[in-house]
A and B are shown apart, each in its own frame.
Chain A
Amino acid sequence: MSTLNVNGRPMSFETEPDTPLLWVLREQLGLTGTKYGCGIAQCGACTVHIDGAAVRSCILPVSAISEGQKIVTIEGLSPDGAHPVQKAWAALDVPQCGFCQSGMIMAAAALLAAKPQPTDADIDAAMSNICRCGTYNRVRAGIKQAAAAKA
C-alpha cells in the first residue's frame, strides 16, 4: 500500500512502483479529469501540479514521488471552479471538445503562479499542450485575462 498527498488529502492505493502517476490517478483514485492523450509526454493532456510545478503525469513512475510532495489535479485546483484561470476560461468560452482543457488549465495555472504577468513568449514556452479543436487563441486570451484579474 502506498500513500500520496493528492488535492490536499492523503490517498492510498496499491500498484506496481513503475505505474505512471496518470494511471494511479485515473484508475486507482478515480480522478479521471486528468487525461491520457499520448503516453509519451508530448501532448500535455495529463498535466498535474507537483509542488506547484506543471508535470506530465503519463511518464512519471509513481515511485518517483514522495509522500511529502503535494499533487494537485484539475479536481483540486479550486474547491468551486473559481480559480482565476477557470473563471477566465468560462468567461471566454475557451473549450471546444474540452478533452485537452484539464491539461491546458493546469499548465496555465502553473505558469501564472510562477509568472503572474506572462509575456506572449512566456506563454509560448510554457503552453506546449496540444489541442486539436483549435482553442489556442482563446487559451492565450484566457491566460491574459486571468493575469489581469490577479493583478
Chain B
Amino acid sequence: MLAIFDYKAGNQTSVHRALEHLGIPNEITNDPEKLDKAIGIIFPGVGAAGQAMEELESGGLDEVIKKLIWQKKPVLGICVGCQILLDYSEENDTKALEVIPGECRLFNPSWVDYEDISIRVPHMGWNQVELLQDCELFKGIDPDADFYFVHSYYPAPKEEFVIGTTRYGIDFCSVHGRKGLWAVQFHPEKSGRPGLQMLRNFYNFCREAADAE
C-alpha cells in the first residue's frame, strides 16, 4: 500500500484518484503506524510553503515525515511537498524540513524566456524535464513528454541533488533528491499518461524495495 501523507495542505484527493485509476492500493493518512506499514509515501502539497509547514508542525507531523525519510522509506514529494524537503523557502520566509540541502526561490518576472519576452509568474502549464542523472521515475517515459506545473517558487538544491531541470527564464531544478527520495515540482497526478506512468514507476520501485528487505 502507498500512503498519501495527509496534512491539510495537500492535493491528496487528486493523487488518490490517480492511484485508484491505476489500481494501486493507497490510503490518505497521517497515522504513524499506517505510514510505517506503507511501502512508500507520497508527500503532496499545494498552496504556500509557510502554511504547509505550519500544518506539519502543529501536529508534530514534520517529525513523522522526517523519521520515515531517515528510515529510508521511499518518498515522492510533489509541488510544495517537493519544496519543503529543502532547508528553506523564500515564500513566507519559511524554515523548511531540512532533508535535502538547498532552498526555494521566487521566479523573477524580469527574466526572459525563449521568445525574448518576460516570463509570467506563476509558471503555469506544461513544460519538459531534462534529466541530468538517471532516475527510475522516468522509466519508459518519452524524453519529450511534458508535465504540468503551477508554482511561483522553484527549488534550488545543492548541485549533487539536482536530478532534472526545466527551462523557464532560467534552467531551474524540477526534480531533485536521491534514489528512493524524490521530489518533483510538477504534478504527476495531473500530467496525463506520462504522469500516471511516473506514479506507477514509483509504486514499482517501492514494491521492489519492500521485496528486497
Q: Do A and B share a complex?
A: no
Q: Which chain A residues have a beta carbon within 8 Å of chain B's beta carbons?
A: none
